[in-house]
Amino acid sequence: MHFFKENGSGLLLCLAIAVPSWILGQFFPIIGGAVIAILLGMLITIPLKDKSRLAPGIKFTSKKILQWAVILLGFGLDLGIVLQTGKQSLPIIVCTIAASLIIAYVLHKVLHIPSKISTLIGVGSSICGGSAVAATAPVIKADDEEVAQAISVIFFFNVLAAIIFPPFGHFIGFDTLSGEAFGIFAGTAVNDTSSVTAAASTWDSMWGLGTATLDKAVTVKLTRTLAIIPITLVLAFIQTKKGSKDKENAVSIKSIFPFFILYFVAACLITTIAIHFGADASLFSPIKTLSKFFIVLAMAAIGLNTNIVKLIKTGGTPLILGASCWVGITAVSLLMQHLMGIW
């Protein structure tokens, strides 16, 4: 009862956006329900002056329900294929992360962007958006304003990626009969799980691929998300070397490890065992459909959390940094796919 009292109003607002977005997405698959939900959320949030009552439910939807969506995607995925996809995408992931961190460091020096903002945007752009920012912030002692600015910049380019990348992928000639190339592209070039799932879902809708692209993109993205751990530990080591040897700088693996990935792997394992013993893959179709609706629901919350007006007014050089990291990651992802013969 306490849960609904605290989160109910925010959840209902997200649901009120998600249901018509889901329906419209069926009529306009070239756009997709996820993108429609983001755009509606962004429009609805502009006149909302006070979101304090709605905030807990919106936050719950954008974080927890999105994680549930990813976990449910594991049902219907063979664990062997998941491991093969992770191995296949690893060189691209390493190169895109390196590109983003190098760009962030260079622009920090050239444009005199504060080091904490540069670190947060560089890490957030290269790994997994808001989750990486949240994990990194306490390690480098970033304050709430720095965190909010970094997340706003990342959200802005998340939304752009979700909207632009599907038509861009078609324009540059990705295979429309398979979700492999675009799935790897979305999983490595888009910085937040929310927009990875939105872009991949749109590609599936555009070309009638079911969840093929979504499965590929999410697997690649979850492999990339694991980079939170070594990156955060390295930053903690650097922070400690600077002379901050107090207990506040201690980093716990438990606090930064994205545990929902383990549940995703468990869902894949259940599927693998079930299919091995003769279960039909279509058994998992309703779960996959629920997962796709949860993605649309989470996108509504992402849209509600994106304040475009404030971002444009206060962005400045952080926006330039975010754009540079985004373009750099996109270019490196495409180059690596080309070199590896995927695209």
Answer yes or no: is pLDDT of 134 > 80. Answer: no
Mean pLDDT of 269-276: 89
Over residues 21-50, the mean pLDDT reads: 83
Alpha-carbon distance of 19 to 343, in angstroms, equals 35
Residue owning tokens 């009862």: 1
Decide if pLDDT at 169 tops 90.
yes
Q: Which range, of 65-74, 76-85, 248-257, 303-312, averages the lowest pLDDT? A: 248-257
Sequence-distant (≥ 6) Cβ neighbours of residue 228 within 8 angstroms: 127, 128, 131, 132, 135, 256, 257, 258
> pLDDT tens for residues 193-205?
778 988 999 999 9
The rounded distance, in Å, linking the Cα atoms of 186 and 184 is 6
CB-based contacts of 25, cutoff 8 Å, min separation 6: 31, 32, 33, 34, 36, 205, 296
Are residues 290 and 93 in contact, defined by beta-carbon separation less than 8 angstroms?
no
More confident: 102 or 160: 102
Residue 244's region, left for phi above 0, alpha for psi from -120 to 50, else beta, is beta
Over 90: is that where the pLDDT of 257 sits?
Answer: no
Report pLDDT for 189: 92
Model confidence band, residue 110 (pLDDT cutoffs 50, 70, 90): very high
User: Which DSSP string do the residues of 76-87 spell out, in sequence order?
Assistant: T--HHHHHHHHH
Domain residue extents for the chain: 2-339
Most confidently predicted of 81-85, 161-165, 293-297, 324-328: 324-328
What average pLDDT score do residues 262-266 get?
A: 84
Q: pLDDT higher for 290 or 192?
A: 290
For the whole model, what pTM was predicted? 0.72
Give the other-Cβ count within 10 Å of 245's Cβ: 11
Average pLDDT of the residues in 34-41: 84
Specify the pLDDT at position 167: 94
Over 90: is that where the pLDDT of 11 sits?
yes
Least-confidence region, from 48-57, 69-78, 212-221, 326-335: 69-78
Instruction: Say yes or no to pLDDT of 185 above 70.
Output: yes
Q: Is the pLDDT of residue 175 over 60?
A: yes
pLDDT bucket at 21, cuts 50 / 70 / 90: very high
* Confidence (pLDDT) at 184: 95
Residue 307 has pLDDT above 80, yes or no: no
Q: Average the pLDDT over 189-193 and give the result.
A: 83
Most confident listed range (56-70, 86-100, 291-305): 86-100
Taking only the tens place, the pLDDT of each residue in 70-99 is 788 788 777 887 788 888 899 999 999 999
What is the structure's pLDDT at 254? Answer: 63
pLDDT at 229 over 60: yes
Cα distance between residue 275 and residue 283, in whole Å: 10
> Alpha-carbon distance 343 to 246, whole Å?
49
